[in-house]
Amino acid sequence: MSAHERASAGFAAWFGSPPTGCWAAPGRLNLVGEHTDYNDGFVLPFALARRTVVAAAAVHEPRWAVWSERAAETVEFGIDQLAPGAVEGWAGYVAGVVWSLRNAGYDVGGARLVVSSDVPVGAGLSSSAALECAVLAALADLSSLDVPLDERPRLAQQAEIDYVGVPCGIMDQTAATLCRPGHGLFLDCRTLAYEHVALDPTIDGLAVLVIDTRASHRLVTGEYAVRRRQCEAAATALGVRALRDASPTDIDRLDDAVLRRRARHVVTENDRVLEVVARLRAGDVASIGPLLTASHESLRDDFEVSSPELDAAVDAALGAGAIGARMTGAGFGGCALALVGADRVGA
């Protein structure tokens, strides 16, 4: 059964009546542009065919009841439990969206929700953003709120940062909201301007493999916050608003060797995104392979967010003939991606 069918059937089984509707948001794979979003830089994610589906119906009082297929539990909360952090665990992402919408002045009403998902958790494929964005879409429609599409990523991100307490950037929620089939989402994380760039490797006889190392990324939250602080410190030392504004020659002015490496990753990674976008616009998917591999090396050596499992996955893919491979997502575990000839998928 699809996540859609499971959510819908789960709702009827759990709440005893059919849902008003189902809302969905996809997981994402970031092709290139890692740890650049919170530096006002560029990213290029695309949506996966796997999605999180929320079956939902409105209720009259301001209470929310959520059943998660994955957690096999129901969590309920009322308006008095909307202080950031009050609801913990997976349901915190749901409560966070309610909080975020209300915080922005939207009069979101109570609801019953059932969540089913095919996006793996902890794999760096943004299961949390998919959950936030699907819940946001459901609640907005059920309460007839006119929440502009372009405003939704920020509201979902706010839920994650301020309610759940994960200091994430804007990429994942934007991808889960705006990506289109057959396209990468080229996003400028400073202006939030975006372009749908055609991305269909199959035309060139290629495939993008998603390789789940299944290695836990438990270090990720703490180390992620450390990387953010280091990037801010590097920008401050250089006297720029964000590392987006630093040039390759600026980096040499940083005395601290760690900050220099962090900054070099961000500056070179932004360039790689622009170069990949240029090549995709020119219809030359096959030539982006070395840029993807260079991204991995930079994340491994300069940003230091890879892991032995991710390095092994990338090396194995390249050894088996991939034309490019890299870790994807925040790092320390989760998934790698590889661009391979369609005839080399098995290898």
Catalytic residues: 172
Candidate segments 7-15, 34-42, 209-217, 339-347, binder of ligand GLA by CB under 6 A: 34-42
Q: Could you give the CA distance from residue 278 to residue 151 in angstroms, rounded to a whole number?
A: 28
Q: Residue 98: CB partners within 8 Å, gap ≥ 6?
A: 64, 82, 108, 139
**In angstroms, what is the minimal distance from the CB of 126 to ligand GLA?**
6
Question: Using the rule CB under 6 A, which residue among 29, 37, 52, 314 binds ligand GLA?
Answer: 37
Question: Using the rule CB under 6 A, which residue among 23, 38, 46, 186 binds ligand GLA?
Answer: 38
Cβ closer to ligand GLA: 138 or 175?
Answer: 175
Q: Could you give the CA distance from residue 7 to residue 10 in angstroms, rounded to a whole number?
A: 5
DSSP per position, 282-311: TT-GGGGHHHHHHHHHHHHHTS----HHHH
Strand blocks (E) in 192-283? 194-198, 206-212
Cβ closer to ligand GLA: 8 or 36?
Answer: 36
Contact between 168 and ligand GLA by CB under 6 A: the answer reads yes
Contact between 120 and ligand GLA by CB under 6 A: the answer reads no
Cβ closer to ligand GLA: 56 or 119?
Answer: 119
Contact between 169 and ligand GLA by CB under 6 A: the answer reads yes
Question: Using the rule CB under 6 A, which residue among 84, 120, 329, 333 binds ligand GLA?
Answer: 329
Candidate segments 86-94, 168-176, 197-205, 287-295, binder of ligand GLA by CB under 6 A: 168-176
Categorise residue 46: left if φ over 0, alpha if ψ from -120 to 50, beta otherwise. Answer: beta
Question: Nearest CA to 117 among 105, 127, 129?
Answer: 127
Candidate segments 7-15, 166-174, 195-203, 247-255, binder of ligand GLA by CB under 6 A: 166-174
Contact between 41 and ligand GLA by CB under 6 A: the answer reads no
Helix (H) or strand (E) holding 57: strand 45-58
Contact between 34 and ligand GLA by CB under 6 A: the answer reads yes
Size of the site for ligand GLA (CB under 6 A): 11
Kind of pairing, strands 111-117 and 63-68?
A: parallel
Cβ closer to ligand GLA: 172 or 250?
Answer: 172
Residue number with the smallest Cβ distance to ligand GLA: 169
Contact between 171 and ligand GLA by CB under 6 A: the answer reads yes
Contact between 184 and ligand GLA by CB under 6 A: the answer reads no
User: How many C-beta atoms lie closer than 10 Å to residue 296's C-beta?
Assistant: 26
Mark 29-66 as b/e (b = at least 16 C-beta within 10 Å): bbbbbbbbbbbbbbbbbbbbebbbbbbbbbeeebebbb
Which residues are at the interface with ligand GLA (CB under 6 A)? Answer: 34-35, 37-38, 126, 168-169, 171-172, 329-330
